[in-house]
Amino acid sequence: MEQGVRTTGGSGGGLRAAHSSVCFSGALIDGPRIQQLLLHCAAALESNDVTLAQQAMWVLNNIASSQGDPNQRLTSWLLRALVARACRLCGAAPSAAQAAPPAAAARAVSVTELAEYVDLTPWHRFGFTASNAAILRAVAGAAAVHVVDLGVTRCMQWPTLIDALSKRPGGGPPALRISVPSARPDVPPLLGVSDEELGARLANFAKSKGVQLEFNVIGTGTSRTGAASSPKEQAAELCYDLASVLSDPASLALREGEALVVNCQGWIRHVAPASRDAFLGAARALGPCLVTVTDEDADLDSPSLASRIEGCFNFHWIMFDALDTSAPRDSPRRAEHEAAVGRKIEGVVGDDNAGCAERPESGARLAERMRRNGFAGVAFGEEAAGEVRRLLSEHATGWGVKREEDMLVLTWKGHGAVYTSAWTPTNQV
């Protein structure tokens, strides 16, 4: 039913105005109108009106296309999530599921493939660059550095830091320890390499740079996160395992004289909102010289389905639009990125329980949470901002960076996408 659908170019201005328009049955349907259809569908599902929801889905199905423009591709994933939710109400799949993209089977990727995935856009490397700059500044002069790596990209951040430490003037590079928890969020793409092998590769790279690296995998030995049967079980087990590790400094083998850094990259949104204060409290109790937090600059934890749908449409459009400038529409790498976003959408739309799936909160809200839990912000220097700008110069012109209080924020066409912030316990300021 997609043959009669065509699109027109998007315009500048606000985020909604930046959405392209779709021509359906001779009528122009722009981003705000698609959003309105999605909200009508969400309202119908919230009131258990499956008939009205199916009517909205039928129209959305004729707009959505997994091979179309960014609006159509995003709509196809939102439709898929709405269909799945409707199935739980009526017990059968509504007929409006045709345009939804097929579910992609998770596959293990190589380190090279993961690097290519990360390099397609600055979504991840922005945080790597900004966080590493803050870490280098915080550990300047330290003879030993210990990084507790709470990241979702399997240590892709650290080769650049190791290289920078190898060039540190005055006394040479420090001894470096990196500790990673055995429990981690189940975030695609999944790397087909064990933590131990990854650590060995990093150690060899560090040796080639003249940096002494010790790599440790920490955990309770009871983690079943990767095998959990539902997002709710995964979230509960992840919180349990992290609490066990962070509340037990002995498991981290903290050493006198080490400069301790806790690096949270794309991690906090996977901790249940009700557990985040306890998580930060446990991190603070370790006495780090720095805590870095990088995450998506969106609020998607509303109890209202309609509000979450609106948030998904406006925020996740950023990645779909950016990918349209970075890769052909039939690119497998682009499809992997979009499937990863689709997985997030399914979690946000499919369950009203904020403890069951990843729920990002904006940088502004995270800053309030950090201050409430005894942290003070550390401003990024101009050198860090300059490093980020050099990174962005390698990507499409729509990417930019802005400052918000002490944070750096990655933007796409002026709209916040990812924030990075640096914090120190208030008793160390």
Q: What is the pTM of this model?
A: 0.88
What letter would DSSP give residue 102?
Answer: P
Structure confidence at residue 366 as a pLDDT band (50, 70, 90): very high
Q: What is the pLDDT of residue 102?
A: 57
- pLDDT tens sequence across 207-224: 999 999 999 998 754 444
More confident: 194 or 427: 194
Q: CATH number of the domain at 111-299+355-428, please?
A: 3.40.50.150
Within 10 A of 173 (CB to CB), how many other CB atoms are there?
20
Q: What is the pLDDT of residue 23?
A: 45
Q: What is the pLDDT of residue 233?
A: 54
What are the extents of the domains in the chain? Answer: 6-100+304-350, 111-299+355-428
Structure confidence at residue 369 as a pLDDT band (50, 70, 90): very high
- pLDDT tens sequence across 371-390: 999 999 999 999 999 999 99
Place of tokens 């980020």: 388
The stretch 235-252 carries a mean pLDDT of 63
- pLDDT tens sequence across 296-335: 999 999 999 999 999 999 999 999 999 999 999 999 999 9
CA distance 75 to 101: 10
Q: What is the pLDDT of residue 106?
A: 65
DSSP assignment of 147-185 equals: EEEEESSTTTTHHHHHHHHHT-SSS-PPEEEEEEES---
- pLDDT tens sequence across 144-162: 999 999 999 999 999 999 9
- pLDDT tens sequence across 336-347: 999 999 999 998
Judged by average pLDDT, the poorest of 33-47, 77-91, 238-252, 389-403 is 238-252
Q: What is the pLDDT of residue 140?
A: 94
Nearest residue to 349 (alpha-carbon basis) of 87, 80, 152, 106: 80
User: 144-151 and 175-181 as β-strands: parallel, antiparallel, unpaired?
Assistant: parallel
CA distance 131 to 375: 16
Number of helices (H) and strands (E) in the chain: give both, helices first.
15, 14
Q: What is the pLDDT of residue 268?
A: 92
Q: What is the pLDDT of residue 239?
A: 57
Single-letter amino acid, residue 260 = L
- Model confidence at 165: pLDDT above 70: yes
